[in-house]
Amino acid sequence: MPKFKLNDQFLFGTATSSVQIEGGDKNNTWYKWCETGHITDSSSCMAACDHWNRVMEDTLILKNLNVQTHRISLEWSRIEPSPGQFSKESLQHYRNEIQLLLDNQIKPLVTLHHFSEPLWFQEKGGWLKSESVDYFIQYARYVVENLGDLVCEWVTFNEPNVYTWFGYVIGSFPPGIISIIDALQVTTEIIKTHAILYTMIHRIRKEKNFLGKTAVGSAVHIRVFDGLTFAGKKTAQAVDYCFHELFMEGITTGKIKFPLPKNRYPLKKGRYVDFVGINYYTRNIVEFALDPKNFFHKFIPDKDLNKSDLGWDIYPEGIYRICKKYYERYHLPIYITENGISDRYDNRRPDFIINHLSFISEAIENGIKVERYYHWSVMDNFEWLEGESAKFGLYECDFSTQKRTPRHSAQIYAEICKNKAYSTV
């Protein structure tokens, strides 16, 4: 079993998202997606973990885990239930939640867009209508002006590549569109919006003299794509370009790469993030396939690797490879904004955490500036298309009683967070 020791400046944390844990909101796109029968186990985000009513209980869990930082998302549909109409009650709820984190010496990292949107936004055309984008910017401005005294650090978009691919290419996420042309347009709109928000958040916090160093980034889902054959390697490069590079380059530098459509508001090339946020879970072996419906590629499981409950390869070395790749390219601090495993019986999660952190420690020793690690997730939650069936939690959540029960991995992670180290001795 590997041993590691991380420096005192390194921050350990956990990550959650609003729709996946809060429950009780019918005004968002994912509630409608559940109601129209798209969830594997027929569960609904309407219940989730009832976190909206259990913030104090769940904050105590975070304190018991000894985390120094916690990543949450805000539910746009709660804050702006109808166009231009903002809910002071919902905003105050989030203020209270964030203040509770601060009172327990837990630094908040706040995400503005984590897949879900108000129903009215989709009814107006969503990201396919440039004028609709102004609504998201207006929402973000309201949030930062009213929470920016408590929050220094922001994630604009969570996994914009997953959101776009599943929502506009294969249609398995809302809004359920299947169109490459639409997906490319949405990608450009999101990149443009991120750049606007980056500048806006910095400006608002400076103008209002909010305390603390402002940091803005995104959280991009990154997988390692490896090819074994010549055709597989070329195919893996193409998949990597479409799924990773278009987004990472656009969000980080403002570059609109081929084949993305140029926007009527071209971006000045520069730097639009203060950290590189990476969600890392797995690696895929890629092979060419004469199948246009699957975009001429297929994923092949590695028979030599253990799997998660979802069948994902467990490949800890990948976290080192991607940190090295993006640090050498951008020379910006790296936050692992998500890393975790679906493991109902908790017999792989302890090693999963330890092995990934060991590779992060090695990366830091080799001069790669990895500054944070956010484990996904605190407790079992509503896991998108898998619903309640995928178990990513350090704590088990009994969805019928809402009882939270720590798994063995929670104890291990709490010790790691406390000591910033792991040793079997």
Q: Which residues are catalytic?
A: 159
Q: Are strands 395-398 and 403-406 parallel, antiparallel or unpaired?
A: antiparallel
Contact yes or no for 337/374 (Cβ under 8 A):
yes
Contact yes or no for 392/340 (Cβ under 8 A):
yes
Burial 355-390, CB ≥16 within 10 A → b, else e = bbbbbbbbbbeeebebebbbbbbbbbbbbbebbbbb
Provide the H-helix boundaries in 36-129.
Answer: 55-64, 76-79, 88-103, 119-123
Task: Please give the span between the terminal C-alpha atoms of the chain, in angstroms, as a whole number.
Answer: 11
Q: Are strands 370-375 and 11-15 parallel, antiparallel or unpaired?
A: parallel
Q: What is the C-alpha separation between 225 and 93, in angstroms, rounded? A: 41
Look up tokens 């041993």; give the residue. 3
Structure tokens, 293? 């419906």
